[in-house]
Structure 1
Amino acid sequence: MRGNLSLPTASAVRNLGILAHVDAGKTTLTERILYVTGATYKRGEVHDGTTVTDFDSQERDRGITIFAAAVGCDWDGHRINLIDTPGHVDFADEVERSLRVLDGAITVFDAVAGVEPQSESVWRQAERHGVPRIAFVNKLDRAGADFDAAVESIRRRLHPAPLAVQLPIGREGGFTGVVDLVRLRSLVWADGDGDAAVAEGPVPDALLARAHRRRRLLTEAVAELHPAALEEFCAQGSLSAGTLAAALRDLTRTGEAVVVLCGSAYRNRGIEPLLDAAVAYLPSPLDVPAVRGMFDGEVRERAADPRAPFAGLVFKVTATATGRLTSLRVYSGTLRKGDTVFDAGARRTERIGRILRVQADRHTELDVAVAGDIVAVAGVKAARAGATLCAPDQPLVLEPPGTAEPVVSVAVEAARNSDTGRLATALARMVEEDPSLVVRTDGGDGGTGQTVLSGMGELHLEVAVERIRRDHGLAVSVGRPRVAYRETVARGVSGLLHRHVKQDGGAGQYAHVVLDVEPLDPAAGFVFRSAVTGGKVPRSYVRAVESGCRDALVEGPLGGHPVTGVRVTLTDGATHPKDSSETAFRTAGRLALREALRASAMALLEPVAEVTVTVPQDAAGGVLGDLAARRGRVSGSTVRGGVAVITATVPLAELFGYATRLRSRTRGRGTFTTRPAGYAPAPVR
């Protein structure tokens, strides 16, 4: 298909993500948004495997979102580019890459559970990227749904100023609509399957006094935070709908407050006012600061202007049956089919074969994309996620999205020797698409030579291996999962002297260094500093010593694991007028730190996870005992409505197979979620 060029101005574009804990209703909400806006003509269902964004076979089989999927729709004269992100912690890297290119987000919460562990994780991710959010409390039609409790959990765990702009009409199965507190009107959806249009009317008499009281609380909270609103509030004792909406817009974009709406995506209730709020309160590309990049040490800025030099950031690479698709956010300039662009990081040129408007796994061809748009391009052969594509005569490198270190590994090998090459090709393609996967050859632990696949969790690796089997038709055998241990310094050494001297004909090598090694918090990683005075070691050689120390941290003395939590100070050194070089000092730094680590008291660290287990109250005792047997430390336990919610910190190595064990212990009624909680000392083995 080819779409006519009909691009809205950047002020009428909203680049938004849907964020939430797993099973809070992100994908269902995305489906209803597409349905209400006319982008689709049939409502897809997660349980039927008919959703637009969960189009991968594994997503449909497992009933969860695995890959971030981009879709688009039009609402009230605005173009909305939506990315439905995964909710499972193992796929947090997909969320990270999506947030890097988004201007705003809709965060979805379960009206029964409130803020859940992964809700908090994705909220913090958005906070790090400075992405403004509005909140949607979903599933108000469920038994036990409590809008006020959900808002309070947002206040307690995420943000000090959640501003509820709606009041539910009815409870649980009787939820039929909302009261709009900004304009003091009711919005009601007819009983039935939820296909009826929203009916606007006056606030029901039974809710009128409560609605006025809630609006008063809302205006007071806004006036406390917004100077212009405070001025009107002091003068008139209230706020007009226009002033209140403008203040909510400002507070949302600065992050000082978060607007909270409610509804039931499954019942198709609350979608229209949510879209209105997204358009009204969340920023357009023109409302966010111009992006800044670097090239050859020079800072360069790009505004969201179609006339500026082209600059775009690649955030996803997908291999399809028809070729490689590269998804990117256009930050400035105009991109046309056939253009030659520059991959500034790799310093190579690429040619744009086609420009595509993406609707999950369907595409419409465009002739041009402009600043503020999110599109996919075909023809780019080598650009990876995080690459900057730009005008060849105006190069810059934008900051790429971060990638977390993998914590779980498995050994994989082809079932037939003849398929070894095909397996290597399949793994290389998967790593290209998903940078949070790492492939290496195991040279440690006796040098097995096995191919090791590392990822963010057990499910992440299960999905990756299944893709090898399904998409590439390869039979593979998989070893038992292993966690990624780290080593750290428990007690360091001072004044360790190392002299590197090499003379075998021609120019020699000479470097003399003295190091102090001290322990640090493992989260601090590695810190290097120089205390050398009098120019005994030139600055370029100091940098070489630091590089050598970093080389030494790749394998620690306990078991060849990476070393973290160490401060190294170069306290003294000496050079030779002819034989000293950066290479010699890098070698000296590496060998000196290796020697220092062997002389230090080292400790082994293992990854731990915060686990939240939800079980019937009568099964809580057995679950607590099982967590204790897995070296878990329980940090909290609450009971609500006959359901126990237990929070504990458990070593990741002890969680392999826990899902099966929990189902068996609770007769299928228990569920659990995890999120990374850093590293902790491991028992001596």
Structure 2
Amino acid sequence: MSADINLLRNIGIIAHIDAGKTTVTERMLYLSGAKHRVGRVDHGTTDTDDDPEEQERGITIFSACVKYRWDKYHINLLDTPGHVDFTAEVERCLRVLDGAVVVFSAREGVEAQSETVWRQADRYNVPRIVFINKMDREGADFDSVFNDIGPRLGGRPVAVELPVGQGPTHVNNPFRGVIDLVDLKFLQFDPETEGKEVRQTDIPDELMDDALLWREQLLETVCEIDEDAMALVMEDQEVPVDVIRKALRKGCIEQTIQPVLCGSALHGIGVQPLMTAVGHYLPSPLDRPPVEGFNPKKPDQQLIRKPDPTEPFSALVFKILPAKTGDNYWIRIYSGQLKQNSRVYCPNRDKKENVAQLWQIHASKKERDGQTETLAAGDICCVIGPRFAITGDTLCDTQNQIELPSITFADTVLSMAIEPENTGDRKKLDDTLDMLRRQDPTFRAVDNEELGQTIISGMGELHLEVIQHRLTRDFGLNVKFYKPRVNYRETIGGTADVIGVCNRQMGATQMFARLSVRVSPLEDSSATPIVFDRLPPDTLLQGDVRHAAIQELRDRAEGGGVLAGFPLSGIKLEAYDAEVSEEGGIEEVAFRIAAGDAFDKALEKAGPVLLEPIMKVEVTTPEDYMGELVGDLQQRRALIAATETRGAMTVITAHAPLKELFGYSSAVRSLSQGRAGSSMEPLGYQPAPKEDAHSFQF
């Protein structure tokens, strides 16, 4: 890895499914010389989709890291999934990246998952550039995609390239190259060398007017960012290329603009300029703010770490790949240096960890001959040796401790009961599920002792299907699988005041306690329950007994509701009065019992409500099939939120209960003769039909 952190780029490729992320990654590896043959997604020969499940389905499921050099730059590139079921892979990658390339299909444009990954990048303040891919596809429309980025994503796109032609070779004006608006040159890519040879010529006269119009828009943006450029324009002088690039870089890093390029990754058209743009416009670790954290021994003490090898060591674990020879911990080093055979501290677990080996990463494996002695600030690498840390944990210097913000993941929405075919497989199944939990932070597995089953939960049908295949094919387990069920939640319909009572004879002791509790709904029905201690300061209930009563309410709120034991959300509990016996003492057990009694009474009196998860569904279809698809959605209790025309296709946006969407992608293909496609993402929760309240148990 480069000793100059200025030349390091930690980037991710993010997009909607099938926009061409993995193809872009493969082409970058080939053009940089990191591999000698271009892999194909449809042939299952790509470097980053190296899992059998990915090769069979032709989609990315697991994030992968590759390294290459381009020009003077050293690139760590993370290829991420596009399917919403695996959005956690995008979440964890964006948490540790400095920049991103957002890929859009020139035909489909800004799609549902495009919006999701863009919002994720916003949340982590990740600067990004845009690549409009598949310009050689039927129905490609550069202008339409470009013009959608502002209103749909809240971005500010700035074109630095224009396509020459659009669509495949049989149309009147096929896609055959790009115009570089910075250098004002026409770039053509040799098909014989799969895009390795680029021919740069003057822009043809018939294209010059259009190019100058777009370049004028580019210069207007540059002048807003850079005063030197503004002064040159005011004096009617030519703005040098290096001034334009400097301004675009500044705007990109400050996230006020997103430079836009275009091409066809499948044929190598426009990928070399994209690789150059990564170096020109996306930030190095030095261009990003220092990472912030706190002293784990003094949580109120805020700390920062600069991306400097001389600072105390700090890093974040963002992925764990279990292995027989020792789990592979993928980390991003934010400050200091990490040496092989050293000791570090994990503040989240309050444990010291060994760093036995350091490796560079290629795809999902350790890079061949990639073991190294030392790595420094800015690097992304694999560590072997830790045993206690989990995804989102910090590793830091043992003497200069810091805890960095962790990674938050969405709640699971779908569950399934499983059990081993025979008792002999129980231990192996438990060990395997534990390993999968460490690898995938959105996967849950909880034993149901009453039924003798294990309930596994995930982000959707495809997520659970992949888990099934891994258990049976990869780990050779004989497991029974039951029908997937939706993960509901429970809340309340109103406000209630109740008094919880304990009046019991225990041995020779008469225990008495009363606790007054008010329960009310929160504005956000999906919010985590909160409990307040509103007991008067002069109450007889003090110390450990008071704490026990409040803690019992918190413990019960973190448990299940009264309908079917689903997680509670959107409720507020307030303990505001207590009464003790005049004769007996104040017993901690008595007030725990009274608090539990108050909790049950409060939920019943306030009116328990079942909440079902709602998905945002986006269907892209030819106009001919729109009526049948809308009718089918309405039968699934969907609310049609919007319809719009994008080129030759119609896009239907709907909000539908997850319960009604099992097998929906197959239904869409059937209703449209395979010509429509769909995607979905979690939207929120809403009250479920009353009849659903009686059919929860597995």
TM-score (norm 1): 0.93
Indicate the residue corresponding to 1:184 in structure 2.
184
Alignment of 1:172-571 (within 5 A): 172-173=167-168, 174-192=174-192, 194-224=194-224, 229-236=229-236, 239-294=239-294, 295-296=296-297, 297=299, 298-320=301-323, 322-360=325-363, 361-363=365-367, 364-442=370-448, 447-494=450-497, 496-500=498-502, 504=506, 512-520=514-522, 521-536=524-539, 545-553=549-557, 554-571=559-576
Q: Judging changes above 3 Å, is the alpha-carbon distance between structure 1 residues 59 and 509 closer, same or farther for their aligned structure 2 residues?
A: farther
Task: Name the CA distance, whole Å, in 2 between partners of 1:165 and 1:571.
Answer: 63
> Contact 2:130 / 2:259 at 8 angstroms: preserved in 1?
yes
> Contact 2:620 / 2:650 at 8 angstroms: preserved in 1?
yes
The alignment of Structure 1 onto Structure 2 pairs a total of residues equal to 676
Q: CA deviation at 1:425?
A: 1.0
Farther off after superposition, 353-362 or 65-74? 353-362
Task: Name the CA distance, whole Å, in 1 between partners of 2:183 and 2:547.
Answer: 62
> Contact 1:614 / 1:643 at 8 angstroms: preserved in 2?
yes
Q: 159, 162, 169: which one pairs with 2:164?
A: 169
User: Which runs of no fewer than 5 residues in structure 2 stay unpaired?
Assistant: 169-173, 692-698
Deviations 1:236-292 (A, max 9, x none): 477432332222111111111111111111111111211121111111111111112
- SS for the counterpart of 2:318 is strand
Task: Name the CA distance, whole Å, in 2 between partners of 1:51 and 1:418.
Answer: 38
Task: Name the CA distance, whole Å, in 1 between partners of 2:145 and 2:16.
Answer: 14
> Contact 1:137 / 1:261 at 8 angstroms: preserved in 2?
yes
Indicate the residue corresponding to 2:695 in structure 1.
none
Deviations 1:11-65 (A, max 9, x none): 1111111100000000000001111111111100000000000000000000000
What residue identity is the alignment partner of 2:476?
G
> Contact 2:190 / 2:196 at 8 angstroms: preserved in 1?
yes
> Contact 2:311 / 2:335 at 8 angstroms: preserved in 1?
yes
Indicate the residue corresponding to 2:47 in structure 1.
52
Task: Name the CA distance, whole Å, in 1 between partners of 2:122 and 2:31.
Answer: 29
Task: Name the CA distance, whole Å, in 2 between partners of 1:228 and 1:683.
Answer: 63
Q: CA deviation at 1:160?
A: 4.3
> Contact 2:39 / 2:47 at 8 angstroms: preserved in 1?
yes
Task: Name the CA distance, whole Å, in 2 between partners of 1:542 and 1:198.
Answer: 75
What residue identity is the alignment partner of 1:425?
D
Task: Name the CA distance, whole Å, in 2 between partners of 1:160 and 1:662.
Answer: 31
> Contact 2:225 / 2:250 at 8 angstroms: preserved in 1?
no
Q: Judging changes above 3 Å, is the alpha-carbon distance between structure 1 residues 217 and 413 closer, same or farther for their aligned structure 2 residues?
A: same
Indicate the residue corresponding to 2:28 in structure 1.
33
> Contact 2:392 / 2:406 at 8 angstroms: preserved in 1?
yes
Task: Name the CA distance, whole Å, in 2 between partners of 1:53 and 1:459.
Answer: 19
What residue identity is the alignment partner of 1:454?
S
What residue identity is the alignment partner of 2:566?
H
Task: Name the CA distance, whole Å, in 2 between partners of 1:587 and 1:240.
Answer: 77
Deviations 1:576-608 (A, max 9, x none): 999558776666544422220111112111001
Q: Does 1:662 align with 2:668?
A: yes
- SS for the counterpart of 1:293 is strand
Q: 125, 128, 136: which one pairs with 2:131?
A: 136
Deviations 1:500-548 (A, max 9, x none): 5677479998765322211122133323344444443659877655543
Alignment of 1:513-662 (within 5 A): 513-520=515-522, 521-536=524-539, 545-553=549-557, 554-573=559-578, 588-640=594-646, 642-662=648-668
- SS for the counterpart of 1:137 is strand
Indicate the residue corresponding to 1:3 in structure 2.
none
Task: Name the CA distance, whole Å, in 2 between partners of 1:450 and 1:407.
Answer: 19
> Contact 2:638 / 2:655 at 8 angstroms: preserved in 1?
yes
Task: Name the CA distance, whole Å, in 2 between partners of 1:565 and 1:55.
Answer: 42
Q: Judging changes above 3 Å, is the alpha-carbon distance between structure 1 residues 202 and 632 closer, same or farther for their aligned structure 2 residues?
A: same
What residue identity is the alignment partner of 1:109?
F
Task: Name the CA distance, whole Å, in 1 between partners of 2:153 and 2:177.
Answer: 26
Q: CA deviation at 1:234?
A: 4.1
- SS for the counterpart of 2:358 is strand
What residue identity is the alignment partner of 1:605?
L
Task: Name the CA distance, whole Å, in 1 between partners of 2:63 and 2:50.
Answer: 11
> Contact 2:303 / 2:402 at 8 angstroms: preserved in 1?
yes
> Contact 2:195 / 2:269 at 8 angstroms: preserved in 1?
no
Task: Name the CA distance, whole Å, in 2 between partners of 1:596 and 1:497.
Answer: 9
Q: CA deviation at 1:550?
A: 2.9
Q: Judging changes above 3 Å, is the alpha-carbon distance between structure 1 residues 348 and 506 closer, same or farther for their aligned structure 2 residues?
A: farther
> Contact 2:8 / 2:75 at 8 angstroms: preserved in 1?
yes
Task: Name the CA distance, whole Å, in 1 between partners of 2:597 and 2:137.
Answer: 63
Q: Judging changes above 3 Å, is the alpha-carbon distance between structure 1 residues 258 and 503 closer, same or farther for their aligned structure 2 residues?
A: farther
Farther off after superposition, 81-90 or 161-170? 161-170
- SS for the counterpart of 1:143 is coil
Q: CA deviation at 1:92?
A: 0.5
Task: Name the CA distance, whole Å, in 2 between partners of 1:217 and 1:642.
Answer: 28
Q: Does 1:18 align with 2:13?
A: yes
What residue identity is the alignment partner of 2:404?
L
Q: CA deviation at 1:328?
A: 0.5
Q: Judging changes above 3 Å, is the alpha-carbon distance between structure 1 residues 212 and 543 closer, same or farther for their aligned structure 2 residues?
A: farther
Q: Judging changes above 3 Å, is the alpha-carbon distance between structure 1 residues 529 and 189 closer, same or farther for their aligned structure 2 residues?
A: same
Task: Name the CA distance, whole Å, in 1 between partners of 2:591 and 2:122.
Answer: 41
What residue identity is the alignment partner of 2:290?
A
Task: Name the CA distance, whole Å, in 1 between partners of 2:512 and 2:405.
Answer: 38
- SS for the counterpart of 2:219 is helix
Deviations 1:390-415 (A, max 9, x none): 12112222111102111100011112
Q: 44, 69, 85: which one pairs with 1:90?
A: 85
- SS for the counterpart of 1:524 is coil
Task: Name the CA distance, whole Å, in 2 between partners of 1:258 and 1:568.
Answer: 46
Farther off after superposition, 291-300 or 405-414? 291-300
Q: CA deviation at 1:72?
A: 0.6
Q: Judging changes above 3 Å, is the alpha-carbon distance between structure 1 residues 424 and 479 closer, same or farther for their aligned structure 2 residues?
A: same
TM-score (norm 2): 0.92
What residue identity is the alignment partner of 1:206?
E
Task: Name the CA distance, whole Å, in 2 between partners of 1:585 and 1:272.
Answer: 70
Q: CA deviation at 1:192?
A: 4.4
> Contact 1:508 / 1:579 at 8 angstroms: preserved in 2?
no
> Contact 1:66 / 1:86 at 8 angstroms: preserved in 2?
yes
Q: CA deviation at 1:476?
A: 1.4
Task: Name the CA distance, whole Å, in 1 between partners of 2:147 and 2:531.
Answer: 44
What is the root-mean-square deviation in Å for CA atoms of aligned residues? 2.4
- SS for the counterpart of 2:650 is strand
Farther off after superposition, 630-639 or 455-464? 630-639
What residue identity is the alignment partner of 2:455?
V
> Contact 1:552 / 1:591 at 8 angstroms: preserved in 2?
no
Task: Name the CA distance, whole Å, in 1 between partners of 2:547 and 2:183.
Answer: 62
Indicate the residue corresponding to 1:150 in structure 2.
145
Q: 676, 685, 688: which one pairs with 1:679?
A: 685
Q: Judging changes above 3 Å, is the alpha-carbon distance between structure 1 residues 18 and 579 closer, same or farther for their aligned structure 2 residues?
A: farther
> Contact 2:315 / 2:396 at 8 angstroms: preserved in 1?
yes
Task: Name the CA distance, whole Å, in 2 between partners of 1:467 and 1:94.
Answer: 17
Q: CA deviation at 1:676?
A: 0.6
